[in-house]
Chain A
């Protein structure tokens, strides 16, 4: 918990410092944008390392742990929710008359569904070919 608090304070502090510097106009706007991007991009891997350490210590990342099972089920349930959100976004864009971005949203949904069925078909083929090859 202490590590997470320090991490959150460091990120907020860094973002605050860049914001303060940008207000004084000491930093060019391009450099400000780059710094914001770097802070946000770097915080992702650092957060992952912290999370992995915590999970390893409590064995919640073990494949047979209930947390791992729940995480997989949550990820599976997130897919339809994500698709609904993207379709809603596409519909909103289409209603505003921005048909290009709306079409990209719908194309993204179609691609995700196609990828899902490809992964399903490959995994099914592997599983069934392993069983049917037995005498």
Chain B
């Protein structure tokens, strides 16, 4: 699934490890999501959206 996680993270000047700590997953999970190799569970998608104060669909594009 295409996503704008890396862009959102850079906008906030966060490192991958910072984001990983914030949502309680490994840094490798963030890397895999940003590269589009791993689709997160709904719970993690909600936490990511909450971290960036946006909706899930603002980060993830199911058509991508």
Contact for B24 among A59, A66, A69, CB less than 8 A = A59
List 6 tightest A-B contacts by C-beta distance, closest first: A64-B44, A66-B29, A65-B25, A65-B26, A60-B26, A65-B29
**In the complex the two chains form, what is the Cα distance from A29 to B4 in whole Å?**
65
| Residue contact A59 to B32, C-beta cutoff 8 Å | no
Q: Which residues from chain A sit less than 8 Å from chain B, CB to CB?
A: 58-60, 62-67, 69
- Looking at chain B's contact residues, the main secondary structure is helix
**In the complex the two chains form, what is the Cα distance from A16 to B26 in whole Å?**
38
A-B contact pairs, 30 of them (CB 8 A): A58-B26, A58-B27, A59-B20, A59-B21, A59-B24, A59-B25, A59-B26, A60-B26, A60-B28, A62-B24, A63-B41, A64-B23, A64-B24, A64-B25, A64-B29, A64-B43, A64-B44, A64-B47, A65-B26, A65-B29, A66-B25, A66-B26, A66-B28, A66-B29, A66-B32, A66-B38, A67-B26, A67-B28, A67-B29, A69-B38
Does B36 belong to the interface (CB within 8 Å)?
A: no
In whole Å, how far is B15's beta carbon from the nearest beta carbon of chain A? 15
